Structure 1
């Protein structure tokens, strides 16, 4: 588990992709910590080190065969239960499978605000009824599913706002081949604007 303690009354739980706590997640946590938030990034790979991006299929099979969405969600819920009483506000930020987990967390009543980037498996959990505001970002291009169809379905749900941003899966990760700086900046501004409403 990666932690930054700034004695804040707000904590941000950062949920990683199938690769684990890699350079991308470490950098995200450092940036958030500079704003004086407490930051926690749980290792959802049962303590295993991070996979590299050229190990995508190995990482995917490891996650699906050894962890799975349900087990990862239970790990995140345990973190939320353990820290909830210590903070005025709990935010969850997730990437890819981490975004799907952030989406699932929105129904627990343990969070104040959740953000997810390109959570493709969210399409398998459309029955979720978020109890906190959720902001979801999807790229304009996805191989596995129809972004427009999912966006329409999600935007009909309470407490949910979906924004499509130009790019491909991974556009907000500076270590990804699909990184798009302009799209990342747009998403950052959208998060701040959305957050000011609550």
Structure 2
């Protein structure tokens, strides 16, 4: 099995490195896709990270990078995305026909609001924050409720809670969800994160 991790706008971070190592096993290969082609970045704040993301990559280019990584996979694939990476994964699995894609897990995919017409090719678990600056989370949850393969979780945390570089980082939430992901993969039973 292959796990493809799609980072948020911060790109490669210590958190992503640790997550990749913790998910990698003898039978599971982990690949990390980031907006900066594998070059670590240092940002003074989230606005600087967003500006760099939009200048150096952007949403469409990130979607293409994720789609290319999926196309190159020869094993069963689980997609694990964060923010811009989760949104890119969502678009990349739209009406896709690759039977190797087994599950897509996305944390706080804010751009999903612009792509509610996506028809995912695999089961999807989306983990939303309690609120977003640019849209009502509950409206998106309602819009996604009709999609049979999509399971949504609304947390009590804020956008970025899995990333220690985010002002909304929550150690307890990051630990809880990382353990959930790791346990599901170890059991070779990727499913909803209930």
TM-score, with length taken from structure 2: 0.83
Deviation at 1:76, TM superposition (A): 1.4
Report if aligned partners of 2:35, 2:56 keep a CA contact under 8 Å in 1: no
Q: How far is the alpha carbon of 1:58 from its aligned partner?
A: 2.3
Superposed CA offset, 1:36-72 (max 9, x none): 52100023324543233x3322221221133111111
Where structure 2 has 5 or more consecutive residues not aligned to the other structure, the ranges are none
CA distance in 2, matches of 1:31, 1:73: 25
Alignment-derived partner of residue 96 in structure 1 = 83
Match of 1:14 in 2: 5
Match of residue 141 from structure 1:
131
Partner residue, 1:7: none
Higher helix proportion, which one? 1
Once the two structures are superposed, residues 146-192 of structure 1 have per-residue CA deviations (whole angstroms, 9 ceiling, x without a partner) of: 11111111122231111001111112234434233443455457653
Q: Does residue 41 of structure 2 align to residue 50 of structure 1?
A: yes
Report what 1:5 is aligned to.
Answer: none
Residue aligned with 1:167, SS: coil
**Separation in 2 of the partners of 1:165 and 1:35?**
32
TM-score by length of 1: 0.82
Query: Map of 1:60-99 to 2, 5 A cutoff?
Result: 60-83=50-73, 86-87=74-75, 89-99=76-86
Say whether 1:105 aligns with 2:92.
Answer: yes
Pick the structure with more strand per residue. Answer: 1
For structure 1, the 5+ residue unaligned runs are 1-9
Report the Cα distance in structure 1 between the residues aligned to 2:57 and 2:164, rounded to whole angstroms. 26
Structure 1 residue aligned with 2:190: 195
CA shift, 1:31, in A, is 1.3
Q: Deviation per CA, 1:77-110, whole angstroms, max 9, x where unpaired?
A: 1111112xx21x1010000101101211222233
Change (3 A) 1:120 1:35: farther
SS across alignment from 1:142: coil
